[in-house]
Chains A and B, each alone.
Chain A
Amino acid sequence: MQRLRRTMMFVPGNNPGMMADAHIYGPDSIMLDLEDSVTMAEKDAARLLVHNALKTIDYGNTEMVVRINPLSTPYGKKDVEAVVKAGVHVIRMPKTETAEEVVELEQEIIKVETELGCVGRTQIMAAIESTLGALNAYAIATASKRMMGIALGAEDYCANLKAQRTTGDSPFFGMELQMARQCIVTAARAAGIDALDTVFSNLNDMDTFRREVEMIKAMGFDGKSIINPRQIEVVNEIFAPKEKEIEKAKTILAAIKEAEKRGSGVIAVNGKMVDRPVVIRAQRTIDLAIASGIMTKEDLA
């Protein structure tokens, strides 16, 4: 089953207390941040903290991601060395604008992996935080075989777009991000990788958060970047398939299994044609239901 990435929780890389506890809340991925949440004076200390935490703390099945500083800064290359040596699953590139930047990061990763004898271990994801990045989304998404996803970073994107972030009470809510979101999700799907939405930072407005998660799910995103454990339950609930969807998916998968036995690829379920795309969606529904704890693999039998 493909890994679920409904929630990617941001944790400041210089806060050991939060780093030690983050996985207890059950996010699908944890993103330890060496970039914006760490002051320049603490970059060295945060890098060491993240390196040691990754090597020591048992994060279970949680996917471990580290957001590094851009390679154009004095910190980027050291960040790559520190986190690859610690066995990080994914390096998240901030402010990615071109495919060349992904290739440059891959070269840095290869240098460290070659030294360790583990070439190909580390995956890459890119945060798209500018209009140029959004327009280059497909090139970025396909720049390396290591790419596992692309994500939107809304604040920098809006600053670059010269637009203000809209709030939940605006009739134009979310309009400023519409184009970027569609670029990202379409590019990710075309490249066969995951699409993650930006953070929602107002923890006191859970209603608007819920609306935003419903919207990005409808748009096709795999999940959302989050900043607080309180947001996990809402995202998981919205992404969890409903009972009716699960029953339909189970019927489709059972019918296609039967059809395959007979050597046929197309069948009808309740009078509707079922072909490959429908089966893929049904499988995704079941995967989500199992991951959400609504059903078990045994229920499929």
Chain B
Amino acid sequence: MEIKTAMAGTLESGDIFIQIAPNDNAGLHIDLDSTVAYQFGDQIKKVITETLQGLGIDQAEVKATDKGALDCTIRARVTAAAVRATGKDVWAD
């Protein structure tokens, strides 16, 4: 799927800032900066990957700056960034 550079989220506590950009190489490359990377880094990357794949995006450069976001917040921010990057909304209307 063709994407352009887009971002969503904030750097406030409990949030995550997601930047998505086109990637010339195959696959998803996730660069994660998180205060809880040691404990939850793998889980955060898993949520990001699953959310993007669920939206049909399997090739992108992702930069994630996490401030202790819950999984539901990560899903929401990744989806928002993906919708902005593809121009394809998830709602019917």
Binding site for B on A (CB under 8 A): 15-18, 20, 44-45, 47-49, 51-53, 55-57, 77-78, 81-82
Contact (A78, B93) CB under 8 Å given A16-B69, A45-B8:
yes
- A77 to B92: give the CA distance in the assembly, Å: 9
B67 (CB) vs chain A CBs: closest residue: A17
Spot the interface stretch: B28-36, B56-64, B74-82: B74-82
Of the candidates B8, B9, B70, B75, the one whose C-beta lies within 8 Å of that of A57 is B70
20 extra interface residue pairs, beta carbon distance < 8 Å, beyond A20-B14, A52-B73: A15-B12, A15-B14, A16-B12, A16-B14, A16-B15, A16-B69, A16-B70, A16-B76, A44-B80, A44-B84, A44-B89, A45-B8, A48-B77, A48-B90, A52-B76, A53-B76, A56-B72, A57-B72, A81-B92, A82-B91
Task: Provide a sorted-by-A list of 10 A–B residue pairs whose CB atoms are within 8 angstroms.
Answer: A16-B73, A17-B12, A44-B83, A44-B89, A49-B80, A52-B72, A53-B72, A56-B71, A56-B72, A78-B91
B70 contacts which chain A residues (CB < 8 A)?
Answer: 16, 20, 56-57
- A18 to B89: give the CA distance in the assembly, Å: 26
A54 (CB) vs chain B CBs: closest residue: B72
A18 contacts which chain B residues (CB < 8 A)?
Answer: 14
Contact B72 A77 (CB under 8 A): no
Contact B93 A81 (CB under 8 A): yes
**B68 nearest CB across to chain A (Å):** 8
| Interface size classification for chain B | 20 to 34
Contact A51 B76 (CB under 8 A): yes
Of the candidates A17, A48, A77, A81, the one whose C-beta lies within 8 Å of that of B14 is A17
**B4 nearest CB across to chain A (Å):** 15
- A47 to B91: give the CA distance in the assembly, Å: 10
Q: Is B13 an interface residue (CB 8 A)?
A: yes
A48 contacts which chain B residues (CB < 8 A)?
Answer: 76-77, 79-80, 83, 90
Contact (A17, B15) CB under 8 Å given A45-B76, A48-B79, A57-B70:
yes
B8 contacts which chain A residues (CB < 8 A)?
Answer: 45
B15 contacts which chain A residues (CB < 8 A)?
Answer: 15-17
- A15 to B73: give the CA distance in the assembly, Å: 10
- A47 to B84: give the CA distance in the assembly, Å: 13
A15 contacts which chain B residues (CB < 8 A)?
Answer: 12, 14-15
A45 contacts which chain B residues (CB < 8 A)?
Answer: 8-9, 76-77, 80
- A16 to B10: give the CA distance in the assembly, Å: 10
A78 contacts which chain B residues (CB < 8 A)?
Answer: 89, 91, 93
